[in-house]
């Protein structure tokens, strides 16, 4: 085992963990005052569920002995037998336990992304139950199929460096389906949903950027040149996406906005995630510049046209950004950057990787849709009414779900 790589990946694990509280700040700042506590709590209870489930059976189901290319076994139940000295894959620079710790943080933040789509209208007990089922039914099989030895998508040559399919497409598609099933908020189209705390949004976004360097660079699983490459492509894509979102704001609204710029930062991070360790640095600029306009149009035009209420744009940012990032990975991958890629991207003359990437995206979407419907049915069976009443929604979920208030001295209209 390489001690430098071990220290590096453990540090990156801490950075990825920090992304979940950052997400709660980002989401919490975007909602109205009466739903701040509920929204932030919904984004962070996955720290509890994600870690306990991962230790008990999540890691084993995700990365244990392959079964039909879809799921692992239970031989590592409670992390029994997970080695402190032997690597997960032969020749790896870190131990199986360090790899487990790093992947655990992905299992924590991924389901938290979904919660933004249903902000302000889903009962907390139902959301809690849904996330547990979703982690088990959607996340673990997807992690196995994409990243585990023998996983189906890995076997066909699909590439996902740090979670385009596993993290962003699955959570984004599930977020869209869930918000459609729950239907729009009761005063959607009538009330003005203003961002209540822009500095909180910005702070959350900046911490997300900070943590994302661990998210992407750490996915090299060693302190080496590939980690450095993933680090710089992450920075470049995020920066480019910030600038292009600002331009979209100016074109659409005549002025750049701080919320828009920080949203662009996050969109650029999502777009580069699947290809961070596969595409050249110049391609990261292209990915960042193009991801923001696509996400901007989905958020500003598609929501209104189709009438779905993705409250905090989990689908518009993560789902769409993840899909576009997966496509761009199929366009710009170079085998000279990372030998894990079997073929070059379409831009360099090969077609096979591009077609495989499209197939993997379709499969990821299908798994998310089917899994979400199953999870919703099980949740409704166990918890009853999933959506809060109109009265509870108007009073706010902080008060009705938690008997707490983020701003107890505030007495104005909300």
Domain positions in the chain: 3-402
Share of the chain above pLDDT 70, in %: 98
What tokens appear for 323 in the block? Answer: 């899909």
Answer yes or no: is pLDDT of 333 > 60.
Answer: yes
| pTM for the full predicted model | 0.95
What integer pLDDT is reported at residue 413 of this predicted model? 56
What tokens appear for 256 in the block? Answer: 């750049």
d(CA 299, CA 151) in angstroms, rounded, equals 33
Classify domain 3-402 by CATH number: 1.10.3430.10
CA proximity to 399, closest of 16, 18, 10, 33: 33
Angle (deg, nearest 10), helices 124-134 and 96-114? 140
CA proximity to 285, closest of 272, 270, 266: 272
CA proximity to 111, closest of 60, 47, 162, 161: 47
* CB neighbour list of residue 90: distance below 8 Å, 6 or more residues apart: none
SS3 222: coil
Query: How confident is residue 211, by pLDDT bands cut at 50, 70 and 90?
Result: very high
What integer pLDDT is reported at residue 1 of this predicted model? 80
d(CA 399, CA 408) in angstroms, rounded, equals 11
Answer yes or no: is pLDDT of 19 > 90.
Answer: yes
Residue-wise pLDDT tens digits, 261-292: 999 999 999 999 999 999 999 999 999 999 99
Residue-wise pLDDT tens digits, 116-127: 999 999 999 999
Query: How confident is residue 370, by pLDDT bands cut at 50, 70 and 90?
Result: very high
Residue-wise pLDDT tens digits, 124-153: 999 999 999 999 999 999 999 999 999 999
DSSP 78-131: GGTT--SSS-SSTT-SS-HHHHHHHHHHHHHHHHHHHGGGGTTTB-HHHHHHHH
Bridge partners, residue 71, by sequence: 67
Share of the chain above pLDDT 90, in %: 93
For all residues of the chain together, what is the average pLDDT?
95
Residue-wise pLDDT tens digits, 293-325: 999 999 999 988 999 999 999 999 999 999 999
């Amino acid at each position: 085992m390489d001690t430098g790589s071990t220290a590096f990946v453990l540090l990156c694990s801490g950075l990825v963990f920090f992304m979940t509280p950052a997400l709660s700040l980002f989401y919490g700042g975007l909602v109205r005052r009466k739903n701040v506590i509920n929204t932030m709590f919904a984004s962070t209870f996955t720290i509890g569920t994600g870690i306990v489930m991962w230790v008990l059976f999540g890691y084993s189901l995700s990365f244990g002995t392959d079964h039909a290319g879809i799921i692992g076994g239970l031989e590592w139940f409670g992390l029994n037998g997970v080695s402190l000295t032997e690597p997960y894959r032969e020749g790896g620079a870190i131990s199986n336990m360090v790899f487990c710790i790093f992947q655990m943080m992905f299992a924590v933040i991924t389901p938290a992304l979904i919660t933004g789509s249903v902000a302000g209208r889903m009962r907390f007990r139902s959301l809690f139950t849904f996330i547990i089922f979703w982690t088990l039914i959607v996340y673990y099989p997807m992690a196995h199929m994409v990243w585990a030895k023998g996983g189906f998508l890995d076997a066909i040559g699909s590439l996902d460096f740090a979670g385009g399919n596993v993290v962003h497409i699955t959570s984004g598609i599930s977020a869209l389906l869930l918000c459609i099933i729950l239907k729009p908020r009761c005063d959607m189209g009538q009330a003005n949903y203003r961002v209540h705390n822009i500095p909180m949004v910005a702070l959350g976004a900046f911490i997300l950027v900070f943590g994302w360097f661990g998210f992407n660079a750490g996915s090299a699983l060693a302190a080496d040149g590939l980690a450095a490459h993933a680090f710089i492509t992450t920075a470049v894509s995020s920066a480019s996406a910030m600038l292009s979102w600002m331009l979209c704001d100016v074109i659409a609204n005549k002025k750049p906005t701080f919320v828009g710029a920080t949203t662009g930062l996050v969109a650029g991070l999502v777009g580069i995630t699947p290809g961070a360790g596969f595409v050249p640095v110049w391609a990261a600029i292209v990915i960042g510049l193009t991801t923001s306009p696509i996400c901007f149009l989905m958020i500003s035009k598609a929501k209104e046209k189709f009438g779905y209420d993705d409250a905090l744009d989990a689908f518009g940012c993560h789902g769409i950004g993840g899909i576009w990032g997966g496509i761009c990975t199929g366009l710009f991958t170079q085998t000279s950057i990372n030998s894990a890629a079997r073929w070059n991207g379409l831009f360099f003359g090969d077609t096979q990787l591009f077609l495989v990437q499209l197939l993997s995206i379709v499969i990821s979407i299908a798994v998310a849709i089917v899994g979400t419907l199953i999870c919703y049915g099980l949740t409704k069976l166990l918890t009853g009414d999933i959506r809060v009443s109109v009265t509870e929604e108007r009073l706010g979920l902080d008060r009705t779900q938690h008997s707490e208030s983020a701003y107890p001295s505030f007495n104005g209209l909300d």
